[in-house]
Amino acid sequence: MEFDWSVIWAALPELLRGARLTILIALAGLAGGLVLGLIAGLMRAYGNIVLNTIALIYVELIRSTPIIVQVMFIYFALPLLLDVRINPLTAAITAIVINAGAYIAEIVRGSFLSIHRGLREAGLALGLPFWKVLVFVVGPLAFRRMIPALGNQFIVSLKDTSLFIVIGVGELTRQGQEIMASNFRAVEIWSAVAVLYLVMTGILTLALRLTEKRMRIL
């Protein structure tokens, strides 16, 4: 079999459109996932029994079910339960937010609790309210420790967007599948798709490396 580069050039505009959607879903999903994960993680780390239990149930529910089931649930079951219409893109972003949020919650909890208790006490002993101790003392230290684990999660979530092929979101994998279905050039198309994912995760990895380098882990 001959590798036909012209197939890739022809497909590239559509693949790039897919990649753009992949990036959009990943960015929006991870931004939301960070916020949700931060809230749930802090609830787990410092919340009273009620807050802690709510966050625990959320985290366990998400971690214990496959993401594809979560996607299907959000797109097909939720509209029936709540009597609303959800478009595929919203469903996709929501799925990433909820899924990444659960994993990020554990990353946040672990890193906040790993910060030496004495630093928290030193902040409190100055007369600061607890939230200020978290924001100005514990948070900045915990954030440094989160970076490697967050990097993992960002990459996993970015690749998880390929699952949205099942609900018809025109992201990169879906675009590849559609082109392939019309020209049957599996080798060229799936190679190109793989390389585009590599480029995206590569840039993400590089960005995280740089951030990590600029902030010493203390």
Partner 1 sequence: MSIVAFQRVTKRFGAVTILDQVDLSIEQGEKVVLIGPSGSGKSTLLRCINALEAIDGGDLVVDGLSVRGGPGTVRAIRQEAGMVFQQFNLFPQMTALQNVAFGPRRVRGTPKRQAEEEAMALLAKVGLAERARHYPGELSGGQQQRVAIARALAVRPKLMLFDEPTSALDPELRQEVLRVMQELAEDGMTMIVVTHEMAFARKVGTRLIFMEGGKITVDGPPAALLDQPDNPRLREFLQHVH
Q: Does 194 contact partner 1 by CB under 8 A?
A: no
CA 104, CA 112: separation in Å to the nearest integer?
12
Select from 126, 187, 203, 210 the one that contacts partner 1 (CB under 8 A).
Answer: 126
Select from 24, 51, 86, 124 the one that contacts partner 1 (CB under 8 A).
Answer: 124
Distance of CA 202 to the CA centre of its chain: 16
Tell me which residues in 127-146 interact with partner 1 (CB under 8 A): 127-129, 132, 136-137, 140-141, 144
Would you call 26 helix, strand, or coil by DSSP?
A: helix
Q: Does 60 contact partner 1 by CB under 8 A?
A: no
Judged by CB, which is closer to partner 1: 64, or 118? 118
Q: Which residues contact 196 (CB under 8 A, 6 or more apart)?
A: 15, 16, 19, 172
| End-to-end Cα distance, the chain | 54
Query: With contact defined as beta carbons under 8 Å apart, do 153 and 103 qualify?
Result: yes
Tell me which residues in 100-119 interact with partner 1 (CB under 8 A): 116, 118-119
Q: From 118, 110, 154, select the one nearest 137 (Cα to Cα).
A: 118
Judged by CB, which is closer to partner 1: 79, or 140? 140
Q: Does 121 contact partner 1 by CB under 8 A?
A: yes
Please give the residue ranges that form the binding site for partner 1 (CB under 8 A): 116, 118-119, 121-129, 132, 136-137, 140-141, 144, 218
